[in-house]
Amino acid sequence: MTTITIITGTTRGLGASMAEQLATSGEHLVTLSRKPSDALANIASKHASTLTQLNVDLGDAKALMQAVQALKPLISGHDRVRFIHNAGIVTPIAQAENLNDLEVINHAFQVNITSAMVLTAAILTASGKATDRRIMLISSGAGRNASSGWGVYCATKAAMDRYAEAVNLDVGERARITSMAPGVIDTDMQVTIRSTPKEALPSLDRFLGFHQNKQLGVPDTIARRILAALESDTYGATIIDDIRQYPA
């Protein structure tokens, strides 16, 4: 059986760690990211893995649809299909009265959830003959508990959770899907959060504390746990999931 794994947002952080680990599998890895990675290509070559790097800004509608068309023919012929939507942005961070830039808000929704919907549709369509299809949407606790200043981010991640539940109802046993919260990880997203003024993000001290007290997860470690969960026998049994519920 052959496996193809498609993953978005692999430039850095958790996505880069997952891609690097997947590149050692000897299977086919497809990345959708804003720029290619020579380091990832070297890892794939060393491990005789097939690597396809599609360079795309998921916030650009035209570029997204071009990537969809490039992706479809890559999927046919594989028995096992995996899709991980990891790409996401935490901005804009602002109080409700200041969330007035339509373009910025729409961009966040397109990257975080709209692109996940379009890519999921394409992958499900192209993989109709596959025997094992698994979809993982990297969500956040912000979608399950509201936070002041995070109106847009919370909304996109809450939408992701509900979308995963709807997909599960649509596909039944023909595919497995989860919306997986990865916990708080030491990535550039946390750097962005820590640089936000407190008047925009009242919970800033909490995130500063995570960093100062070394409570942030390590991307490589979280990536390993997420990929193990994706391949577990019980994957998909819990639609709204959290990697912290799995053994370290």
For tokens 């990537």, what's the residue? 67
Our count of domains for the chain comes to 1
Q: What confidence score (pLDDT) does residue 199 get? A: 74
Distance CA 72, CA 115 (A): 15
Q: Indicate whether 33 belongs to any domain.
A: yes
What integer pLDDT is reported at residue 207 of this predicted model? 67
Give a yes or no: residue 40 inside a domain.
Answer: yes
Mean pLDDT of all residues belonging to the chain: 92
Q: Once rounded to an integer, what is the mean pLDDT over residues 39-48?
A: 97
Identify which has the larger pLDDT, 197 or 119.
119
34 pLDDT more than 70: yes
B/e letters for 191-222, b = 16+ CB within 10 Å, e = fewer, are eebeebeeeebeebeebeebeeeeebbebeeb
Give the mean model confidence (pLDDT) for residues 205-210: 67
Residue 72 scores a pLDDT above 70: yes
User: Token match 């939507």: residue?
Assistant: 85
Note the pLDDT tens digit of each residue in 135-179. 999 999 888 989 899 999 999 999 999 999 999 999 999 999 999
* Domain assignment of residue 92, yes or no: yes
Q: Which of 222, 218, 243, 230 is nearest to 141 (CA)?
A: 243
- Contact, 161 vs 139, CB < 8 A? yes
Assigned domain for 225 exists: yes
Q: What is the CATH number of the domain that holds 17?
A: 3.40.50.720
Which residues fall within 8 angstroms of residue 119, CB to CB, at 6 or more apart?
6, 8, 32, 64, 68, 71, 83, 85
* Residue 196 within a domain: no
Among 21-35, 95-109, 192-206, where is mean pLDDT lowest?
A: 192-206
Q: Tell me if 32 sits within 8 A of 85, measured CB to CB.
A: no
The predicted model scores a pTM of 0.93
Q: Which of 135, 192, 181 is nearest to 158 (CA)?
A: 181
In a domain, 197, yes or no: no
Instruction: Judge whether 247 lies within some domain.
Output: no
Cα separation, 19 vs 98, whole angstroms = 36
Residue 215 has pLDDT above 80, yes or no: no
Tell me what pLDDT residue 47 has.
97
Q: Which domain holds residue 82?
A: 3-183+218-241
The predicted pLDDT at position 206 comes to: 74
Report yes or no on 191 lying in a domain. no
What are the tens digits of pLDDT across the range 82-127? 999 999 999 999 999 999 999 999 999 999 999 999 999 999 999 9
